[in-house]
Amino acid sequence: MIAVVQFGGSNCDRDAVRALSDLGFEAERVWHEDPLPEETTGIVLPGGFSYGDYLRGGAMAARSPIMESVREAAEEGVPVLGVCNGAQIGCESGLTPGAFTTNASARFQCEHVYLRVENADTRWTAAYDEGEVIELPIAHGEGRFELDAERYEELEADDRILFRYCDAEGNVTDEANPNGSLGNVAGVLGDSESVAVLMPHPERASLPQLGNTDGRGVLAGFEG
């Protein structure tokens, strides 16, 4: 069972459950003050505005009671996916490196973007080809990925960058970077391949009736 953690202010938890269910997974929402169910085989930290993004996005939710269990589960190899606010929570809780901070535009950005698959040899990207371009929506005000130079070099060397913002032809350019992220980074792996975070929303591009199913490959990562 995939546990979709619901924080105060989450607004994509139901979307995640529906998208996962459409792919054949058993998924249910779990309140952040409750323990993870014993039958948990995967975890989603969904998008939204946990605690109203006070202090900074994800900082308060990262200290919610359930997050210690999430970290322990991740250490045991349980797959964990953080999306948008969930990506911020993942970074703030130490599950993944770096931080997501205020967009270079200083504005909330809600639009469709193109992503280039940088590493197709992971559970989260195995459905794609390296270099493939997919289209996903974003909706964030604090999506700019930042990391110190030394750790960023390590991230690249270890092939832990999953997606970069690009144009429709796959060119990684400043113009195709919606939020000013370092290196156009849109998604990264944690220390383990079982943990990943990304700012774009795969669950919003997973249902055929929405006209775009490019995100289904990311959610398929829960199959292992």
Instruction: Considering the candidates 32, 118, 142, 201, report the single residue annotated as catalytic.
Output: 201
Instruction: Considering the candidates 92, 118, 142, 203, report the single residue annotated as catalytic.
Output: 203
Active site residue 201: yes
Q: Evaluate if residue 224 carries a pLDDT over 80.
A: no
Reported pTM: 0.96
Q: Give the tens place of pLDDT for each residue, 182-217.
A: 999 999 999 989 999 999 999 999 999 989 999 999
Domain count, the chain: 1
Domain with 114 in it: 2-221
Active site residue 91: no
Q: Give the tens place of pLDDT for each residue, 108-143.
A: 999 999 999 999 999 999 999 999 999 999 999 999
Query: What average pLDDT score do residues 72-83 get?
Result: 97
Full DSSP string of 33-62: TSPPPTT--EEEE--B-GGGG-SSTTTTGG
Kindly report the CATH number assigned to the domain that includes residue 36.
3.40.50.880
Active site residue 84: yes
Instruction: Considering the candidates 84, 91, 118, 166, report the single residue annotated as catalytic.
Output: 84
φ, ψ dihedrals at 17, nearest 5°: -60, -45
